[in-house]
Structure 1
Amino acid sequence: MLCCHPEFFRVHFVTQRPRNQGDPPVFLATLRARLDGKTLESVTMKHSDRVLVLDFGDHRLIAELMGKHSNLILIDDENRIVAAAKWVRGAQSSRPILPNTIYLWPPVLDASEPDLHNFELPKVHSKFSKAGFPWSPGFSLKHGAYPVELADRYPSWVPKDSFSIACEQAYRERILSHEFESSQRGLISQLESAVLAREVAIQELCEAIETGGRAGTWQRHAELLMAYASNLPAGSGRILLPDYDGAELEIKLNSEESGKENALRLFEKAKKAKGRLGVLNDQLVRLRGIKHDLDGYLLRALEAQTKQAIDVCLSEIKERRLLLTQVHGSADGRQVKPFEGHRIRELVGPKNHRVLYGENAEANDYLTLRVAKSNDWWLHVRGHTSAHVLVPTSNKPELTPREVLEYAAKVAVQKSPQKHAGFVAVDFTLKKYVRRTKGSPKGTVIYTHEKTLHVEG
């Protein structure tokens, strides 16, 4: 086993071959092509340090076991680099590792130390015995493998027949522990981000619902303004009018608008607030349920003791689509706005299905032509203006529940002038049947193969 992992770098014999990881990396394929059938002629530890040279005659394989700088390098008989596990550019190091360049030895702790060629066990054993430490390999789960017995220092000490076996088993346990801790940290981080995002969304929904709850007040203000519109002074920023119960009511005005214009603006504001309340309340119930589930998964992740438990938890979360999609950064490190800044909103529909819609013509155009995939469901109010609504399907549209399409259809109706009508026809089709004709305005499309849902406005 030769490993140049930055944390688990090592060389030792193994009793079990590692599992095949599929297609071999280029470095391994090169080793097979160059060294297959060759004889290992000698092994040298350069200056008795952390550089091991395996000589195969016309090629040498060099293991540099130096922490995060560890590497495996194949050189030819002219000392030129043929292949490497990690290429190192000149900008990264004063000692670059590049194809077909002369190999330079790495710095060692003490260049005066002789090269070590003899690894015969009796000689190694005698050196340890002379130092007062009889050869007795083993390992501790927490502290790793050692060639001498340390049972008095480490209570979890496990003796082994050879140092290689001790290394093999110690690193196996250490790698499993590392994989578990890494998986656990990653899942906890994702869950904490998802919980925080839901908390923010819930807070925003509560504020929007609170605003919608003021629709009655705006409606009353608008009615009073309309009743007294002819008597309102021009250019006023506020006015006192008698309410229905006779008490005086102060109403804020836009000084640049007439009394009638102020009333119409408040009527429209009240109508929009009322129209959104149903969708907002449904969304709030769903988000609170999702946050409750995420809190449960976060507790499971924190209490997990094995990687298998983490994998099961992650599998359930992915199946239920509870984790947020990552927002990637740009090449210069700046965060990229989702949907390139277009006003596209995302809702959580039944069974945690994503539902997206555009808030204006540009957003609709971008959503339909740039975001949507061929087999995503696309919805639009039939024969009238509305938002383009998209239900992503991961290329499996047949698995989308009808209730998700009905929810998306309601979103399309709510985002159209038809939202106060009786029953509204909403067409849905796959995105591959939707296209924009040449020269047509943004957000204007034609579509075929549609089916229709009828939604109450």
Structure 2
Amino acid sequence: MPGMIYDALTMAACAAEMSQALTGMIVHQVRQPLELEVVLVCRAGGREAQALFSADARFARAHLTGIRRPVPPTPPHFCQLLRRHLEGRRIQSVRQEGKDRILRLTFTGTDSESRTLVCEVMGRHSNIILLDGEGTILGAIKTVGARQSRARQILPGRLYEPPPTGRLELADAGPQEFRRMWTEKFGDTPGNPTEVAAWLVREFSGVSPVLAAEAFHRAGSAEPDSVFRELEALLGLIPGGPFAPVILREPGRRTEEVYPVPLKHRTSAAQHPRPRISEALEHAVREEITARELEDERSQTLAAIRRSAERLREEIQELEAILQQPEEPDALRRMAENLAASYHLIQPGSSCVEIPDYFDPSMRPVSIELRPDLSPSENVERAFRKARRAADRIQHAAERLPALRRDLATLEETCRQVEESASVAEVRERRAALENARLVPPPQATGPAEAKERPFEGHRIRTVISEDGLEILYGETAEANDYLTQKVARPDDVWLHARSVTGAHVIIRTGKGRTAPPATLRQAAEIAARNSAARHSSYIPVDWTLRKYVRKPKGSPPGLATYTHEKTIHITGGS
């Protein structure tokens, strides 16, 4: 199923609506309905507006919303961080970064520092990031460490850097450079529309496949100057418009798409105008999410039905094979009776015995395998057991097959019905019926779609966000302390330790040229005191210095370190 259209032009239309509605409003509440979705509830002068930001790979977007979504009883950590830094602040501006899919909201408050919320719409790399007034990251809905990306880390305490694009601005290139690049790529022959569209997307900032196809169609020919003019006109709508949003309903598609301007390369009958792009996106995304939920539910149910049906087919084949050998129990019983009649010929410890077949008129000898570890009487009893089991298998197969064939027919009919189901509720109802009949197992509870890698290579290191939004790390074992100080901490991070006793190494991630605020220093010192051998003392001195002044003596045991340039914070019992 194709993904939703949310390109730079769509973001420009959403940013224009959000700027008009939100500028000057005060953040009343921050809500996080889903793991990767944040909503700002803003109020001013008796008006209320809500802004939605999503970093979901399939539905990444930012727009106004009128739906009040349910939230979990305990707000996630990122929601708490946003509440601490944004609630009560006024929205100063909403703007798009150039022609990228990056939206910035700037907030002012009673203090001198501003805050910025950045929404990056980049597929699976989408993110929502909170910055302080100097552009330092306070937190993100998706943290990105060095193990996930060497090029760009999104971690508290680091300076924010926009994602690299590597694409040209069309206005910077100009018509002559555009024509030269075109000729270098396609020569003097007209370019194939698909190849030209892919090239435009790859080379120029803000150009999406839809925008490229539209520019090519409006140009009317594969001539570089015409394509440049149409592309320039479309990109010129960023940031201010004018926009005329449409919902696209293509025949044969269950879901809808949204675009901020009518598309001439799509049929006019499939395009339905809407007054605001936020409303159109809200409707289309809801439709697409419903369609995807249906596809997910259907595929999971069909997979369960097909697994069960395959298991039944294999069992039916095995039982049919048993029924195709009706003579086996008689042959085994004959062998057992022959063995019993020739009991006196069986030698203890023999692996086989040759005896006459008393059921054959000519009494020809037959050879019967024995278990040398069994006595003659036990071998005879074993032969009768095999005969009885063979007869039982025949009877069981004859009794079991009709029920299995009925169950298989039920699964095959339900499979057809699920394929034709038009709603999630219908699919779930049909699966529930199969579960009640014990034809398919109930779905197993699963963890996150993507297994999260163990942080800090499995070392027991805890993370706390201070009241000032800085990250505080501390080790819970001697080995974790070594790893934290030697591998994780940067030279200008603050390092703390309770003086002259064993205890946790504590790190405040400040970064180069920044100092830890007094409140964060004291919070980290209290952590060091609580996680030291002196935790029950009424007075605990905690030393702090920069990580670059901490050394681990060669050959010293885990957790031991020496330091210089220290200062001391005095922690009293109950602090």
TM-score bracket relative to the smaller structure:
0.5 to 0.7
Matches within 5 A, 1:396-407: none
The residue number in structure 2 matching 1:88 is: 144
The residue number in structure 1 matching 2:24 is: none
1:96 alignment partner, SS class: coil
| CA distance, structure 2, for counterparts of residue 139 and residue 43 of structure 1 | 25
The residue number in structure 1 matching 2:427 is: 310
The answer on whether the counterparts of 2:435 and 2:441 sit within 8 Å (CA) in structure 1 is no
The answer on whether the counterparts of 2:338 and 2:355 sit within 8 Å (CA) in structure 1 is no
Unaligned 5+ residue runs, structure 2?
Answer: 1-51, 109-113, 173-204, 207-231, 251-255, 447-575
The residue number in structure 2 matching 1:296 is: 413
Matches within 5 A, 1:201-240: 201-207=315-321, 214-230=328-344, 239=354
The answer on whether the counterparts of 2:293 and 2:424 sit within 8 Å (CA) in structure 1 is yes
Which digits, 9 at most, give the CA deviation of each residue in 1:31-68, with x for residues without a partner?
23321221111123223211111111332111110111
| CA distance, structure 1, for counterparts of residue 288 and residue 437 of structure 2 | 32
TM-superposed deviation, 1:314: 2.4
Q: Which structure has the greater CA radius of gyration?
A: 2
| CA distance, structure 1, for counterparts of residue 364 and residue 304 of structure 2 | 50
The residue number in structure 1 matching 2:84 is: 33
The answer on whether the counterparts of 1:138 and 1:145 sit within 8 Å (CA) in structure 2 is yes
Matched, 1:244 2:359: yes
Residue 261 of structure 2: which of 148, 153, 157 is its match? 148
**Cα gap change, 1:225 to 1:39, in 2 (>3 Å):** same
2:305 alignment partner, SS class: helix
1:91 alignment partner, SS class: coil
Residue 156 of structure 2: which of 95, 99, 120 is its match? 99
| CA distance, structure 1, for counterparts of residue 365 and residue 86 of structure 2 | 91
| CA distance, structure 1, for counterparts of residue 383 and residue 327 of structure 2 | 14
Which digits, 9 at most, give the CA deviation of each residue in 1:285-332, with x for residues without a partner?
443333222222111111223323212222323333322367999xxx
The residue number in structure 2 matching 1:192 is: 306
| CA distance, structure 1, for counterparts of residue 444 and residue 65 of structure 2 | 42
**Cα gap change, 1:30 to 1:259, in 2 (>3 Å):** same
1:40 alignment partner, SS class: strand
Higher mean alpha-carbon deviation, 71-80 vs 59-68, is at 71-80
Residue 138 of structure 1: which of 246, 259, 263 is its match? 246
2:316 alignment partner, SS class: helix
The residue number in structure 2 matching 1:324 is: 441
TM-superposed deviation, 1:218: 0.9
TM-score (norm 1): 0.59
Matches within 5 A, 1:337-352: none
**Cα gap change, 1:159 to 1:207, in 2 (>3 Å):** same
Matched, 1:64 2:120: yes
TM-score (norm 2): 0.48
2:90 alignment partner, SS class: coil
The answer on whether the counterparts of 1:75 and 1:82 sit within 8 Å (CA) in structure 2 is yes
| CA distance, structure 2, for counterparts of residue 160 and residue 43 of structure 1 | 22
Which digits, 9 at most, give the CA deviation of each residue in 1:222-249, with x for residues without a partner?
1112223445799686757344362656
**Cα gap change, 1:164 to 1:212, in 2 (>3 Å):** same
| CA distance, structure 1, for counterparts of residue 75 and residue 365 of structure 2 | 77
| CA distance, structure 2, for counterparts of residue 170 and residue 160 of structure 1 | 12
Q: How many residues align?
A: 319
| CA distance, structure 2, for counterparts of residue 252 and residue 324 of structure 1 | 48
Which digits, 9 at most, give the CA deviation of each residue in 1:406-428, with x for residues without a partner?
xxxxxxxxxxxxxxxxxxxxxxx
RMSD: 3.8
Matches within 5 A, 1:164-179: 164-179=278-293
**Cα gap change, 1:152 to 1:326, in 2 (>3 Å):** closer
